[in-house]
Structure 1
């Protein structure tokens, strides 16, 4: 909309004319916007429509050459389903305790941060959560990873229920996923996703759950999944994801195959670090469905045995 575009200075053109270096804050802001967009699975055009900010202005913002007004940033953060503070990169300055925790975590590697997260999860988890966690296996990953196909086979093999979380979201919302996004927006979708996940955890002590690919982009929902489920990332290359989507009969990516592939690669790159937080990473690349299922079943059974032993030790 015009009132959002007018305060948006074309800093890129000015920078090119003067030869002045780009501002470090704007560069970091642009990187966060691009990362959050990829993590949410939105193309720049989709974000433009959701935020009512032009693609040109979004491109400038992501490249760190657009000096956006606060109204533009507020519209973008709302469309991305995040707080404005998160977009600006200062979400951990809300209290002295946050600042002290942040200082303890600053500069630590991924392994140390993971141990810290698991320790906090254990500290705050509800009674019995650890013992119940191993009974639920949640499959995460992009569309085309095999969550539905392998998940149904795995549930049958283990003798437990199979739950498609997208179907539960539609049940809770009373309409389809596309309608939720199109009519109600990303924030409403996350609320329905949260309710569906909470109900699934409450109703199914033992199940295989196929999680939506974008669930990892919401920290609260992803933490809930990690705490109450043994998670498995079904990993594949972008090319394999695309091939499987086409094999399922969805020909929409063919309309702009290169653009679709580029978007898919960006989404996978933006989410990989979160998918990588899963308890088990299982690469389905180059495997037939039968081979992938056999290997996945073996890996999960071994892992569940180990989880059960850890739970027994914890309870003792």
Structure 2
């Protein structure tokens, strides 16, 4: 069987205005969302899955008739289970099905409360909550100000400051790019988990600047939410791009000729996860780093009860 999406002949092609099968449309949307969450371009996924970019595009738009082998390759390229790509990870046991029934059609606030209670159920009740207010993590895309504002906030509070990316590189003994190129995303996530666990264990009072893609790994993000008071540092796309360019680094948009569209796509794919943070703070609302820091400092102290 071919490991490409099965091409149809011109006579079999679906007209652009013809209705597409709902399953294929939903499948394509899940592929796009997973790709955006991972911050991967279509070209990168196509190369990793060993399929053509054209065929992957057909799959994403709900017009590609994919073989099961291609779906498996795409799932591996996106570092997810095939069941997640197909849209149902909750059919593996009767308990899963019953839990799904309880949670189905619940609102986002209800689901958030359920997740928090489950976290308390399976971990030491209350222990993490007591430490969360003095263990602060800033999340968001590159260029939001995580390093600059995070370091200033740590100094103001008298806390340690950790750049998690640097800790990951120390564990791995090489750069972030080299980890991905030599060992792959799964290895990177393991180093990320190890660095985060050590930071939580060692520092009861700390400000942690996290990599922008940490939210793409549910296990690592759950760990962060459980043990840290989280702040989503936001910025307008133009400010994100300008600040990253000013640092002389175009990651994660370096391979794309349409960098701004890539940035917006990545932000759209991750926003629902960033929104789980305890506090949102938009740095684009301020005309200088100093003004943004003063406002952030006040917001954090008011929200956590930390006194000046």
TM-score class normalised by the smaller sequence: over 0.9
Distance 2:218 2:255 in 1: 31
Gaps of 5+ in 2: none
1:207-266 deviation line (CA, Å, top 9, x unaligned)? 000111011111111000000000000011111110111122236899888611111101
CA contact (8 A) 1:12 1:65 kept: no
Cα offset for 1:179? 0.8
Pairwise mapping of residues 16-165 of structure 1 onto structure 2 (< 5 A)? Answer: 16=14, 21-126=19-124, 128-165=127-164
- TM-score under structure 2 normalisation? 0.93
Distance 1:195 1:250 in 2: 26
Determine whether 1:9 maps to 2:6.
Answer: yes
Q: Which runs of 4+ in 1 moved over 6 A?
A: 252-258
Match of 1:264 in 2: 263
1:114-141 deviation line (CA, Å, top 9, x unaligned)? 1111121222222522211222100000
Residues 251 and 140 (structure 1), Cα distance of their counterparts in 2 relative to 1, 3 Å cut: closer
Residues 3 and 59 (structure 1), Cα distance of their counterparts in 2 relative to 1, 3 Å cut: same
Residues 244 and 17 (structure 1), Cα distance of their counterparts in 2 relative to 1, 3 Å cut: closer
Match of 1:183 in 2: 182
CA contact (8 A) 1:15 1:22 kept: no
CA contact (8 A) 2:138 2:207 kept: yes
Cα offset for 1:50? 2.1
Q: Which moved more, 1:268-277 or 1:48-57?
A: 48-57
Residues 30 and 251 (structure 1), Cα distance of their counterparts in 2 relative to 1, 3 Å cut: closer
Match of 1:313 in 2: none
Distance 1:278 1:49 in 2: 33
Residues 74 and 286 (structure 1), Cα distance of their counterparts in 2 relative to 1, 3 Å cut: same
Match of 1:238 in 2: 237
1:160-182 deviation line (CA, Å, top 9, x unaligned)? 11111111111111211101111
Between Structure 1 and Structure 2, how many residues are aligned? Answer: 304
Match of 1:304 in 2: 304
Match of 2:202 in 1: 203
Cα offset for 1:11? 5.3
Distance 2:252 2:269 in 1: 20
- TM-score under structure 1 normalisation? 0.90
1:260-297 deviation line (CA, Å, top 9, x unaligned)? 11111011011101000000011111311001111111
CA contact (8 A) 2:137 2:209 kept: yes
Determine whether 1:223 maps to 2:222.
Answer: yes
Determine whether 1:173 maps to 2:158.
Answer: no
Gaps of 5+ in 1: 309-316
SS in 1 for 2:178: helix
